[in-house]
Amino acid sequence: MLGIFQELFAASGISVMTYKHLIMWAIAFVVLYLAIKKEFEPLLLLPIGFGILLANLPKANLMEDNMLLWFFYNYGIKTELIPCMIFLGLGALTDFGPLISDPKTLLLGAAAQGGVYITFFGAILVGFTVKEAAGIGIIGGADGPTTIYVLSYLAPYLMGPCAVAAYSYMAMVPLIQPPIARLLTTREERLIRMPMPRPVSATEKVLFPIVATIVICVLVPTSAPLIALFMLGNLFRESGVVERLNDVAQNALLNIVTIFLGIAVGGTMNAEIFLDPKVLFIFALGVVAFAAATAIGIIFAKTMNLFLKQKINPLIGGAGVSAVPMSARTMHRVAQAEDKKNYILMQAMGPNVAGVIGTAVAAGMFIALLSGS
């Protein structure tokens, strides 16, 4: 009888459990707490948190070859499928009208990507490899799927902690951005009122994703998977002839792939990787990335005002990070704190959606330059 109990104990996970498993369980509970109680990006952090728990169940081996999480990761993320499907859904949810009506806001979205490059060099300085630094830098674009996409090419073992950092800080945009915005702008600048964007025709909205796909993918071919699906989703939305496809892309498909993405990313976070002291630097650099992107966008907007007759509210430059639409809403609230009748939400959406494009292009450039090295 004693032998049976000994065999059962040896076959159980308890026999190999260490303090590292308990630490990772605690981390999983923290992520789940942030998702459920604090509602920090719950659609991603909840499945990520549960994926962390699954990846650290002793002897469950769910990330081993041909096991559950292995399938999600290898056939969903390593093949680019899930991040690209996320972009398809995001494209179907995106309105490029504010960007089309005021093309100069594209420059603000591009400028905010400066946070990506500052963090890239900062990560190298603290000891990360060039490939690791590229993936960490993309956190500054406030774009979780793009962060995961880049890391799947360059440093897949950092995908879990980088994704948690990216989505956590995306949820904290309303906390991170306002102090920076107020510090870098005067009250007079925050009070600047901007004219409402001009009406954009249906023809312009249909042509934009087609032309943008050609231009961007010819200039940066490695960004094609993300850009192509993003623009296809937007074409579903704007064409007006495939409402069923548009509805599926926005809702059912996006929800399904979000589940698979979260579980697969959480599954990469085993104790050996996540408990490396270097991982702490990822979370610190994530804050630097968001702060730098916000600051550079605002400073660039202030610089543009030196040459513009019709001044723009510099706050919209802070919306150049691609946390859509949270960053635009945050900048709008900062403006309304000074003047409740100052509505800059639509103007801020221009650089906000431009930031999505800018981050995808930055990702393509990193992959093109580093994936073969």
Per residue in 195-227, pLDDT (tens digit) is 888 899 999 999 999 999 999 999 999 999 999
What length is written for the chain? Answer: 373
Nearest to 346 by CA among 193, 135, 197: 197
pLDDT tens digit sequence for 86-101: 999 999 999 999 999 9
Predicted local confidence at residue 252, as pLDDT: 96
Q: What is the mean pLDDT of residues 21-47?
A: 90
Predicted local confidence at residue 373, as pLDDT: 60
Q: What does the block give as tokens for 235?
A: 């074409």
Predicted local confidence at residue 231, as pLDDT: 97
Assess contact for 240 and 246: CB atoms under 8 A.
Answer: no
Predicted local confidence at residue 1, as pLDDT: 62
Confidence of residue 269 (pLDDT cuts 50, 70, 90): confident
Ranges 79-93, 114-128, 236-250, most confident: 236-250
Assess contact for 291 and 115: CB atoms under 8 A.
Answer: yes
Q: What is the mean pLDDT of residues 251-263?
A: 93
Q: Which residue has the higher pLDDT, 274 or 111?
A: 111
Q: What is the mean pLDDT of residues 246-258?
A: 96
Note the Cα 30 to chain centre separation in Å.
Answer: 20
Nearest to 279 by CA among 366, 165, 175, 201: 165
Q: What does the block give as tokens for 292?
A: 């730098």
Other Cβ atoms closer than 10 A to 79 = 12
Q: Would you call the peptide bond into 325 cis, given omega within 30 degrees of 0 as the criterion?
A: yes
Assess contact for 354 and 320: CB atoms under 8 A.
Answer: yes
Predicted local confidence at residue 242, as pLDDT: 96
Alpha carbon distance, N-terminus to C-terminus of the chain: 58
Q: Which residue has the higher pLDDT, 22 or 80?
A: 22
pLDDT tens digit sequence for 9-32: 777 778 888 889 999 999 999 989
pLDDT tens digit sequence for 319-335: 988 778 888 999 999 99
Q: Which residue has the higher pLDDT, 7 or 234?
A: 234
Confidence of residue 162 (pLDDT cuts 50, 70, 90): confident
The Cα–Cα gap between 262 and 275 comes to: 20
pLDDT tens digit sequence for 170-190: 777 888 899 999 999 999 999
Nearest to 296 by CA among 99, 107, 115, 104: 115
What are the structural domain ranges in the chain? 82-265+276-370
**Amino acid code (one letter) for 289:** A
Q: What is the mean pLDDT of the chain?
A: 90
Assess contact for 334 and 178: CB atoms under 8 A.
Answer: yes
Note the Cα 100 to chain centre separation in Å.
Answer: 23
The Cα–Cα gap between 335 and 105 comes to: 18
Percent of the chain with pLDDT over 70: 99
Predicted local confidence at residue 2, as pLDDT: 64
The Cα–Cα gap between 270 and 266 comes to: 9
Sequence-distant (6+) residues with CB within 8 A of 274 are 24, 27, 52, 160, 161
Upper half-sphere CA count for residue 299 (Cβ side, 13 Å): 13
